[in-house]
């Protein structure tokens, strides 16, 4: 067990000699892979789109490699876990959203969102968690969302899956913890990624979201990467079962109206 102070506090965020897998390497995942590599990890950049995986691996440096992987294919995930062998860090950022009112949702929409966000998380925890538990070390980081805590119209299934991701990872933290394996989630606020392009293309919608948070703006994908490095590193050696909010205070502040004081 590491306490994070073996090499002094100056090195507590370093990941030298560690192997990391980042799944879903467009947007936040791309910056997470780059940040992990910058702190010394060798990083496998995995994505269902091989071009995205290769581009992110190139951006992450010479210690990074690319892997085509679809987390909705459980057999492929199991094969990847066997082929990659010992990993110290696994980061799952892959996710999707279908923005529709509940009464307009189809069963096909439901299955697509649940299949990637919730079943995909289960598949990754099962496949890669087994090896970590056997080796008695490792850190798993999964992207949840502020929508696990605060909802709005049109977000029913997405919000439900992200709340499910939090609870599933908390359970994994409880079950894997005796083996020294940590499992945490990160709940981003509004981040400028391909997943939020629909909002960015509507100026009023974009501005309304910016003004809702305490900081009054959107996040760049790189602003989530620090939380990934923290949870992956020895700096978080006593952190497990947490859902770390990186949302500019969205879920803490009622920013819809500023009353006179």
Q: Which residues are catalytic?
A: 158
Strands 89-92 and 19-23: parallel
Report whether 138 contacts 186 (CB < 8 A).
Answer: no
CA 102 to chain centre: 25
Strands (E), the chain: 19-23, 42-47, 64-68, 89-92, 138-143, 181-188, 243-246
Beta bridge partners of 89: 20, 139
Instruction: Give the residue among 191, 193, 210, 113 at the shortest CA–CA distance from 154.
Output: 113
Instruction: Give the residue among 78, 238, 245, 259 at the shortest CA–CA distance from 149.
Output: 245
Neighbours of 150 (CB within 10 A): 16
State the Cα–Cα distance between residues 176 and 183, nearest whole angstrom.
8
Instruction: Give the residue among 86, 87, 105, 85 at the shortest CA–CA distance from 97.
Output: 105
Give CA angle at 145 (143, 149), nearest 5°: 140
């Amino acid at each position: 067990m590491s306490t994070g102070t073996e090499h002094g506090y100056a090195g507590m965020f370093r990941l030298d000699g560690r192997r990391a897998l980042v799944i879903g390497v467009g947007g936040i995942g791309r910056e997470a892979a780059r940040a992990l590599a910058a702190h010394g990890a060798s990083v496998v950049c995995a994505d269902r789109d091989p071009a995205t995986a290769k581009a992110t691996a190139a951006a992450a440096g010479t210690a990074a490699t690319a892997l085509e992987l679809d987390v909705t294919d459980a057999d492929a995930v199991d094969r990847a876990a066997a082929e990659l062998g010992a990993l110290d860090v696994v980061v799952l950022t892959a996710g999707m959203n279908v923005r529709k009112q509940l009464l307009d949702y189809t069963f096909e929409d439901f299955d697509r969102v649940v299949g990637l966000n919730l079943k995909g998380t289960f598949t990754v925890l099962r496949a890669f968690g087994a090896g970590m538990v056997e080796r008695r070390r490792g850190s798993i980081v999964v992207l949840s969302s502020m929508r696990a805590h605060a909802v709005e119209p049109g977000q029913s299934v997405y919000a439900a899956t992200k709340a499910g991701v939090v609870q599933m990872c908390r359970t994994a933290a409880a079950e894997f913890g005796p083996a020294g394996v940590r499992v945490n989630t990160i709940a981003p606020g509004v981040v400028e990624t391909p997943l939020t392009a629909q909002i960015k293309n509507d100026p009023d919608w974009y501005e309304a979201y910016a003004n809702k948070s305490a900081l009054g703006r959107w996040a760049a994908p790189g602003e989530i990467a620090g939380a990934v490095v923290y949870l992956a590193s020895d700096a978080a050696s006593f952190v497990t079962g947490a859902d770390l909010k990186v949302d500019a205070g969205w879920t803490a502040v009622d920013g819809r109206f500023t009353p006179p004081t």
